[in-house]
Chain A
Amino acid sequence: MKLKDLMKVSFRSARRSKSSILIMLLVMITSIACLFSLSYEHAFNTYWDTYINKNPELRIRMVEYYKMLDPRIVKGDSTLDPKEKLKMIDETTKEAKQIIATNKHIIAINQEIAFYSNIPELETENLSGDFEFISVPLKNDIPLIAGENLDAYNEKDKVMICPNSIYLDPKDRSQSVNIEKSQVNFESYLGKTLKIKVAYSDELEEYKVIGLFDTIDTYSIGDRCYMSQENIQYLNEKSNNANPDYESYIDSWHNNVNYIGDNFYITLDNMKNLNEVQSFLQEHNMYSNEWIGMNTMTVEQTMDTCSKISFGCLILSIIVVGINLLQNIEKRKKEFYLYHTLGYTQKDIIKIIFMENSILILIGFILAIGITQIGLTIYKNTTLAGIKRLYLMNPQVDIVSILISFLVSLIIPILITIFLLILTRKTNLNKIKE
């Protein structure tokens, strides 16, 4: 039987049958659910790989090298001459930096600089309002997930990124800390300025909160606020200028080694080299801590849910559509017996059934692709747009999802065909009469 004729017979048989329309609708609905889940999951995985896993921020680790320091410094020996102490710290810092630079997997090294001060606006009866600001060692063009790229700002721009919420020091440490009272939520400050008091001075510097960490699509960097290194250096200079003991610290300022802190930030070339780098650092009495993490629970739950939905839809599709197809064929047994009497071979009949089911599934599937794409676009422009940075995710019906869903859809007619091979093996006029 020619393919053209086969398609004619199949299409003509399928087109006006109510059960055929039902089958097509069922295929369409289950295909939509399946395609949506697979496409969403694929888009999320792509987003994850492109913006998260490969993102340099996630490859940043903090390295502590305090164990390399003279034990007298670590113990806080007050008999040590301050200038001598600073000199020893400088030398150790240089040595640590040189050691780190020898590792091929470490592509960037930045000294941590800290600034400790106060935000008067956040000071309450119970909370001190004291803060720690840490430098953000980003010297690249990748935008920060949390907000704007700090490198895009002029060093004179006074901006900072805060955690979503932070615990401030209680004024009276002897009191048991009430978590709610000691927590400040920065979401209400997003886009606004906060005035930071320069240490040892009454001078206030205004800094704009341009981003937040600790939401589902951003990084968690603990209980600190972040600024560019230039701004922290600037604040430290101002503070030291206001410090009556400034002179004693003046020798600590060198061209490349400015420090108030004993940590480095290193950037790895690839996360898979982390263990090797950690071993290397440990050999040299240094330690790498996970510093920039991510609240992955919601993300992983979403992906897990997508996988379950996809799998569930595939099974549902096979069962529901399969049952309906079988029922459809059961009703039409007489028709198939008739084909046999008219001279159609078993093979011809199987081809007709297969083609008929395939046409129904194909039409349902094509409609499903169109509807799914529209649905994903609407979903992206509504729900995803509202979640910070998830708008970077671009879910659309992709080739892989289409191929997987379509191949699975084809299993149904193949299975039905095999089943019919057994069912309609023998026919005669008595079966037609029944």
Chain B
Amino acid sequence: MKTLVLKEIEKNYETKEKSIQVLKGVSYTFEKGKIYSIIGHSGSGKSTLLNIMGTLLSYDKGELWIDGKEIKEMTENEKAQFRNRKIGFVFQSYLLNGQLTALENVMVPMYINKEIETKDRKTIATELLKKVKMEKRLTHYPKALSGGEQQRVAIARALANNPDIILADEPTGNLDKKNEEMILEIFKELKKEGKCVIIVSHSDNIKKYTDVTLELDDGELEVV
């Protein structure tokens, strides 16, 4: 099932001296129920590609289709709403709101999702934290959580609106091996649920969890 389709995506960055082509006609189709990892050297354009797939960055040429809809035709507000419902982000530095509890952090994406009733938010958030084995830490603030625990809360937040796609930028970069395994196990579970998980990572450990490894080199994406 085609979830995210890249067709001849090109992206240039203009500097004073010259124009740098970061992506040179990237094409690939990402499907549900799989874990993909994207590797590449520093500056190869991995973050640029992730930004484009996350509808955070525009592209110069090509097409981006998510769930059968072309992104370029959307307004900024439509993209934001689409992002809220269809894509979940997980970051290397977790990026939890320090002023909110674990439960409150998970509920943040739900506030702008009209499809979720106010009375259901707490229940859904509790279930998601249960899923990532954080049910005993609902009222804890990020400061009181370990790195691994924070990342699990971040994953729960990414799942708040039941998105089809999870984009993870170096999700285990700040974690030890044990916690890394724990996070990757969660991703594995998400894959079984039918989600499309795309991870940008340098970790060797991740290979045993991924279904497809892609390398971005010289602006082109290739299967390894």
| Chain A residues close to B by CB (< 8 Å) | 1-2, 4-6, 8-9, 12-17, 334-335, 338-348, 427-430, 432-433
Q: Once the chains bind, are B112 and A428 in contact (CB under 8 Å)?
A: no
Residues of A near B57 (CB, < 8 A) are 428
Q: How far is the CA of A433 from the CA of B170 in the complex (A)?
A: 11
Give the contacting residue for B80; candidates A8, A343, A433; CB below 8 A.
A343
Q: Once the chains bind, are A343 and B84 in contact (CB under 8 Å)?
A: yes
* Interface-facing stretch out of B48-56, B124-132, B213-221: B48-56
Residues of B near A15 (CB, < 8 A) are 99
Give the contacting residue for A335; candidates B80, B97, B118; CB below 8 A.
B97
- Contact A345:B97 (CB < 8 A) given known A9-B111, A429-B51, A429-B54: no
Total inter-chain residue pairs, C-beta < 8 Å: 86
Q: Once the chains bind, are A14 and B111 in contact (CB under 8 Å)?
A: no
Answer yes or no: B174 CB below 8 A from chain A CBs. Answer: no
Answer yes or no: B15 CB below 8 A from chain A CBs. Answer: no
Answer yes or no: B83 CB below 8 A from chain A CBs. Answer: yes
Q: How far is the CA of A356 from the CA of B47 in the complex (A)?
A: 32
B139 to chain A, nearest CB (A): 13
Q: Once the chains bind, are A429 and B83 in contact (CB under 8 Å)?
A: no
* Interface-facing stretch out of B2-10, B66-74, B85-93, B204-212: B85-93
Q: Once the chains bind, are B84 and A430 in contact (CB under 8 Å)?
A: no
Residues of A near B108 (CB, < 8 A) are 9, 339, 342
Q: Once the chains bind, are A8 and B111 in contact (CB under 8 Å)?
A: yes
A26 to chain B, nearest CB (A): 19
**9 residue pairs from A and B, CB less than 8 Å apart:** A2-B111, A15-B99, A335-B97, A340-B80, A342-B83, A343-B80, A345-B81, A430-B51, A433-B92
Q: Once the chains bind, are A344 and B100 in contact (CB under 8 Å)?
A: no
Residues of A near B147 (CB, < 8 A) are none
* Among all A-B residue pairs, the 7 with the closest Cβ atoms: A343-B84, A5-B111, A343-B83, A345-B80, A16-B99, A428-B51, A428-B56
Q: How far is the CA of A5 from the CA of B119 in the complex (A)?
A: 12
Q: How far is the CA of A334 from the CA of B94 in the complex (A)?
A: 12
Q: How far is the CA of A430 from the CA of B97 in the complex (A)?
A: 18
Q: How far is the CA of A344 from the CA of B113 in the complex (A)?
A: 10
